[in-house]
Chain A
Amino acid sequence: MWMWVVHRTTGVAIFFFLVVHVLDTALVRVSPEAYNDVIGTYKTPIYGIVEAGLVAAIALHAFNGIRIILVDTWPWALKHQRALVWVVWGLFALLMIGFLPRHLSHVFGGA
């Protein structure tokens, strides 16, 4: 039940980000400076945290999507679907543990 809510909310968030992301990338057809100005704001601490949230949303949506496919097609997975929810959160935690220190040091430390 909760994963259903998570899947929908992360999906909507990713959709709206994607629309904005195509629009900001379209600035490469305006001029290098226009693009660099807007991308420059993505390197600020506030957007750095937004990006971390975006990666979190994508990871959760992706791993839970795989769980949905498995539960739909594999009787064993259907039987153990509650355990697979914890696998989703476990993989998500691992990915964030790998991503966050590096990303946040890029954003805050200029490393």
Chain B
Amino acid sequence: MSTADATTPVVEPLRPIRSGRSRNHAEQWSWLFMRGSGVLLLVLIFTHLFINLFSGDGVNQIDFAFVAGKWASPVWKIWDFVMLVLAMIHGGNGMRLLINDYARETWMRKTLKTLLTACVATIVVLGSLVIFTFDPCPLDASGDLLPGVPTFCEDVR
């Protein structure tokens, strides 16, 4: 024993410094979430792209009135909201894994993850507010409809 102690360097077990791999099965949940949300996002985004970018006039049809037409239905509001939240968490979690892999310094990982969290939170909050406070028929200061509103605004007035 004593001779081995003198020559063999003591190998300390590495502490789990990265991403809380040992914490509350956090990485297991991350793994499961990426797969579950991935399948849902495939359906949500392929449908989104088919309707907005493929059917009708494709990209040329997209303008304020097109958005107003879609968001007149609560189905598309919920659709876009679920897509927004799932995509930002899925993408944000993916970026977190890349930060863990490529940012070598602890301070760099912390800085990048703080920026990432702020970015994801801002986009989710902003996007949700835009979807649920959307006004299809905005008025100018004198109470007239702004140019570019959908034609149904005239009927509503």
Decide: B146 and A32 in contact? CB cutoff 8 A. yes
Binding site for A on B (CB under 8 A): 35, 38-39, 41-42, 45-46, 49, 53-54, 57-60, 62-65, 67-68, 84, 87-88, 91-92, 94-95, 98, 119, 123, 126-127, 129-130, 133-135, 138, 146-149
**Known: A26-B130, A33-B148. Is A15-B123 also a contact (CB below 8 A)?**
no
List, in ascending order, chain B residues with CB within 8 A of A62's CB.
38, 41-42, 45-46
List, in ascending order, chain A residues with CB within 8 A of B146's CB.
31-33
Other than A35-B63, A103-B53, A103-B58, give 14 A-B pairs with Cβ distance below 8 A.
A28-B134, A31-B146, A35-B148, A42-B62, A43-B60, A43-B62, A51-B59, A55-B49, A58-B49, A62-B46, A65-B35, A69-B35, A69-B39, A99-B54
Interface of B is mostly: helix
Is the interface on chain A under 10, 10 to 19, 20 to 34, or 35 or more residues?
35 or more
Closest to A32 in B: B148
A94 within 8 A of B: no
Decide: A15 and B91 in contact? CB cutoff 8 A. yes
